[in-house]
């Protein structure tokens, strides 16, 4: 896929969305969405159910029209004042959660569907089946394939016409956990090998974090943050992002000169929060806290107590409660993995670099999806 260039020498983005609005009756599905997907980039869009993710894809594909805003694909305006390019001429490839293969067509004919008038289609189909690691499946029918194989065929079909952008709508949600992990890796490799630009929407944060070159976090029709996954996790832009992506404790901090003093100790503040002066809520991640069994056991004055335990397979998180009722989720290192509910612990804050939110940022409009963010609160996902 050749990159169109603008005079500055910057490649034009594969997708540029500006000021997108979509209202269904009284429901505001999208409210001023701006988004850009760079050439050969995978952008993941993460958000709770109903936040507008699928609507973004439908508008980009041209399956419906926005109430306002513009969409450009590879530098070409496809939606906006002045008209709309029909879906079949937008040069987008789509992959849906239900694969949507044509049941009466063979695998090869499914892949060839979008290039059926191309005289070299047989070569292209063979090349794509090789790419998705199904080189011998061309003559088989979709129902003879597993879900994972069908989804790889769907990817090959989407890539066949060399689209300017591939749109993926929860492509793994019909697969079991093991297959999902496997196919995630495959998808990334396939898109990279094809040099394709893609946008993948999901409500699975592992998917968004592991697959995205950048990820956008969306809530109530708005993009709250769009950054590389490490930045979204390490420097969340809003309290919602801090608690929706990963587990985030929000702890009161008195901030001054780039340091936030919490009841657990000081944290170094980064980004814009380094300039906060006064009270704020600092983001404390479970791995920021070190737990130790209280020396005097349950009798130790002021000890925190384990109130909940969450085992994820690869890690154990313990929720601990202070005598005054504050609760925090903490990671249980090897020394304290055997701690049980009711055990007393002491907490120590590691040398932490994090962000904080001044009071104006901690007020979130009423949200249907996420738990409300209270002053000095922990929000479990
Ligand atoms: P999910 O993860 O559950 O698929 P989503 O983030 O993709 O959700 P959308 O499907 O984009 O969300 O929907 C956004 C909002 O718009 C929702 O409140 C939904 O009910 C509403 N909506 C979407 N399509 C329509 C429609 N055709 N008519 C009325 N409301 C709609």
Q: What is the pLDDT of residues 296-322, one digit of tens each?
A: 655 566 789 999 999 877 788 999 999
Q: How many CB atoms lie within 10 A of CB 195?
A: 12
**Across 191-206, average pLDDT:** 91
More confident residue, 85 or 177: 85
**Residues in contact with 179: Cβ distance below 8 Å, sequence separation at least 6, in sequence order:** 146, 147, 148, 172
Place of tokens 């069994």: 293
User: Which DSSP string do the residues of 213-248 spell out, in sequence order?
Assistant: SEEEEEETTEEEEEE-HHHHHHS-SSHHHHHHSS-E
Q: For residue 370, how far is its CA from the centre of ligand 1 (angstroms)?
A: 17
- From the list 42, 150, 69, 162, the residue with the least C-alpha distance to 105 is 150
- Phi, psi torsion values for 13, nearest 5 degrees: -65, 155
Q: For residue 249, how far is its CA from the centre of ligand 1 (angstroms)?
A: 30
**Residues in contact with 267: Cβ distance below 8 Å, sequence separation at least 6, in sequence order:** 253, 259, 260, 282, 284, 288, 349, 352, 353, 354, 356
- From the list 62, 59, 73, the residue with the least C-alpha distance to 20 is 59
Calpha distance 144→178 (Å, rounded): 20
Q: For residue 64, how far is its CA from the centre of ligand 1 (angstroms)?
A: 13
Average pLDDT of the chain is 88
Q: What DSSP element (H or E) covers 33? A: strand 27-37
Grade residue 378 by pLDDT with cuts at 50, 70 and 90. Answer: very low
Place of tokens 């609160």: 377
Strands of the 304-311 sheet, one edge to the other: 289-293, 344-349, 304-311, 316-321, 327-331
Residues with CB under 6 A from ligand 1: 24, 27, 29, 47, 49-55, 203
Give tens-digit pLDDT for 37-72: 999 999 999 999 999 999 999 999 999 999 999 999
228 close to 219: Cβ distance less than 8 angstroms: no
Q: For residue 55, how far is its CA from the centre of ligand 1 (angstroms)?
A: 6
Calpha distance 375→359 (Å, rounded): 9
* pLDDT recorded at residue 365: 42
Calpha distance 64→327 (Å, rounded): 46
- Please give the number of the atom of ligand 1 that sits closest to the Cα of 56: 11
Range list of H helices, 93-220? 107-112, 121-131, 147-159, 177-194, 205-211
* pLDDT recorded at residue 124: 92
* pLDDT recorded at residue 211: 93
More confident residue, 251 or 370: 251
266 close to 260: Cβ distance less than 8 angstroms: yes
Q: For residue 57, how far is its CA from the centre of ligand 1 (angstroms)?
A: 11
**Across 278-293, average pLDDT:** 94
**Across 371-375, average pLDDT:** 36
* pLDDT recorded at residue 5: 54
Closest residue to atom 17 of ligand 1, CA basis: 50
Closest residue to atom 11 of ligand 1, CA basis: 52
Q: For residue 26, how far is its CA from the centre of ligand 1 (angstroms)?
A: 12
Closest residue to atom 18 of ligand 1, CA basis: 50
Supply angle C-alpha 364, 370, 177, rounded to 5: 150
Residue 81 structure tokens = 């004042």
Pocket mutation for ligand 1, best pick of 22, 51, 219 (most atoms within 8 Å of C-beta)? 51
- From the list 140, 148, 156, the residue with the least C-alpha distance to 93 is 156
Q: How many CB atoms lie within 10 A of CB 120?
A: 9
Closest residue to atom 27 of ligand 1, CA basis: 24
């Amino acid at each position: 896929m050749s990159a169109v260039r603008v005079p500055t020498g910057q490649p034009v983005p594969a997708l540029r969305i500006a000021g997108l609005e979509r209202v269904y009756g009284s429901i505001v599905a999208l409210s001023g969405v701006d988004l850009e997907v760079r050439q050969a980039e995978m952008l993941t869009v993460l958000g709770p159910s109903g936040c507008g993710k699928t609507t973004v894809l439908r508008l980009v594909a041209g399956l419906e029209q926005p109430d306002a805003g513009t969409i450009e694909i590879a530098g070409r305006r496809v939606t906006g004042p002045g008209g709309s390019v029909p879906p079949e001429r937008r040069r987008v490839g789509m992959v849906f959660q239900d694969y949507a293969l044509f049941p009466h067509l063979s695998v090869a004919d499914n892949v060839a569907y979008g290039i059926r008038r191309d005289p070299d289609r047989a070569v292209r189909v063979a090349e794509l089946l090789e790419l998705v690691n199904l080189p011998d499946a061309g003559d088989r029918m979709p129902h003879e394939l597993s879900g994972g194989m069908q989804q790889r065929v769907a990817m090959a079909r989407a890539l066949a016409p060399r689209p300017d952008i591939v749109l993926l709508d929860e492509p793994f949600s019909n697969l079991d956990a093991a297959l999902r992990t496997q196919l995630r890796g495959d998808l990334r490799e396939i898109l990279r090998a094809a040099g394709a630009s893609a946008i993948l929407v999901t409500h699975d944060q592992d998917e968004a974090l592991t697959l995205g070159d950048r990820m956008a976090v969306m809530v109530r029709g708005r993009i709250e943050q769009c950054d590389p996954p490490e930045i979204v996790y390490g420097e969340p832009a809003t309290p919602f992002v801090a608690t929706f992506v990963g587990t985030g404790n929000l702890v009161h901090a008195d901030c001054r000169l780039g340091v936030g003093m919490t009841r657990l100790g000081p944290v170094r503040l980064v980004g814009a929060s380094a300039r906060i002066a006064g009270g704020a809520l600092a983001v404390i991640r479970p791995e920021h806290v070190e737990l130790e069994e209280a020396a005097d056991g349950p009798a130790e004055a002021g000890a925190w107590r384990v109130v909940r335990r969450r085992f994820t397979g690869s890690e154990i998180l313990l929720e601990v409660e202070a005598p005054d009722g504050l609760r925090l989720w903490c990671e249980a290192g090897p020394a304290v993995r055997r701690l049980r509910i009711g055990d007393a612990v002491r907490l120590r804050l590691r040398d932490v670099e994090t962000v904080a939110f001044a009071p104006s940022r901690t007020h979130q409009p009423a949200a249907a999806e996420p738990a409300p963010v209270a002053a000095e609160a922990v929000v479990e996902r």
